[in-house]
Amino acid sequence: MDIRQLRYFLEIAREGQITRAAKRLHMEQPPLSRQLKQMEKELGVTLFDRSGKRLELARAGELLRQKAESLLQQFHESLNEVKELDEGVRGTLAIGAVVSCVSLLPPKIKLFHERYPNVTFHIREGDHFLLGDLLHHRSIELVVTRLPFEFVPVPKAYEIMPLPSDPFVAVVPRPWIAQTKLGSGSVTLRQLADCPFLTLKTDKTTGMHERVLERFRQSAAEPRVLCECSSVAIAVALVAAGIGMTILPKSVMASFPHPDIATVAIADTVFKSEVGIVWLKDRYLSKSARHFIGMFR
């Protein structure tokens, strides 16, 4: 079995039909069918269940799919590593960022582009689970994220470079500054406990939500949770409408400037968010990815 046959197999697995797979591979159906039979004969197993309208992977086929994807990825990475040996920094750098870290990217990308004009960017935004999945499947090379990184399919699979920590602040409707004691320049968590609270929480990621609630408990306070928001954008929109307040890392608000929103320092606790760059351990990193990480050191 060779690399070409593995590509054929993976295309059949994706399409679930030899006719469609042959069309995507720009070849006729009979030769592709012969290649599949040859693979099954060589391995001595049945790779697909052919009982339905769609070809479904058998147990052996599913195992081969996982191994084949990994082998082909390593094969392409090896080719890229060889090609880059005598080349400058060029190509496309695919990176991910959680929305609360997006504001960290523009100054670095601007400087990087000035130094390496032959590199283009592909940027994906999402939660830990989406970005972790993209990283695991090599759709992106690195992630700028809040720590800890909650997507961990394989323990100790990641390298993490910590970045400077980011203080949490109270994000409040601007009219509240004049109407309450928040105008003193700082506020305690006990004061905030009396305000309608908008918390960030999704079905998969709960780290920031739990950290904020724990800080309230340490201050012998319990927030009045009005709404659980699945994104920073939702929470900020509700704050701007005067519905409630939230607590976010200070740098987040650089991405959501709004005239009806004010940020206030939290006085009674040292409350910071840890930030870092995450990439797969023991996997090839392109020159552009290595140089981009270097700009944060």
- Please write the tens of the pLDDT for every residue from 166-175: 999 999 999 9
Confidence of residue 81 (pLDDT cuts 50, 70, 90): low
Confidence of residue 289 (pLDDT cuts 50, 70, 90): very high
- Domain 3-84 sits in CATH at 1.10.10.10
pLDDT of residue 104: 93
Q: Give me 178's structure tokens.
A: 């004049």
* Cα dihedral sign, 282-286-287-288: negative
Name the architecture of domain 91-164+275-294. 3-Layer(aba) Sandwich (3.40)
C-beta separation of 84 from 118 below 8 A? no
3-state secondary structure of 274: strand
Domain edges within the chain: 3-84, 91-164+275-294, 165-272
Does the fold of domain 165-272 match that of domain 3-84?
no
Q: Length of the chain, please?
A: 297
Rounded to whole angstroms, how far apart are CA atoms 195 and 224? 7
Indicate the range of 66-80, 90-104, 282-296 predicted with least confidence. 66-80
Question: In this structure, which amino acid lies at residue 180?
Answer: T
The class of domain 165-272 in CATH terms is alpha beta
C-beta separation of 237 from 287 below 8 A? no
Indicate the range of 21-25, 58-62, 147-151 predicted with least confidence. 147-151
pLDDT of residue 87: 60
Residue found by looking up tokens 């060889």 in the block = 82
Rounded to whole angstroms, how far apart are CA atoms 254 and 189? 23
3-state secondary structure of 28: coil
Cα 112 from chain centroid (whole Å): 21
Whether residue 142 is predicted with pLDDT greater than 70 in this model: the reply is yes
Rounded to whole angstroms, how far apart are CA atoms 72 and 83? 16
- The model's pTM: 0.69
C-beta separation of 240 from 256 below 8 A? no
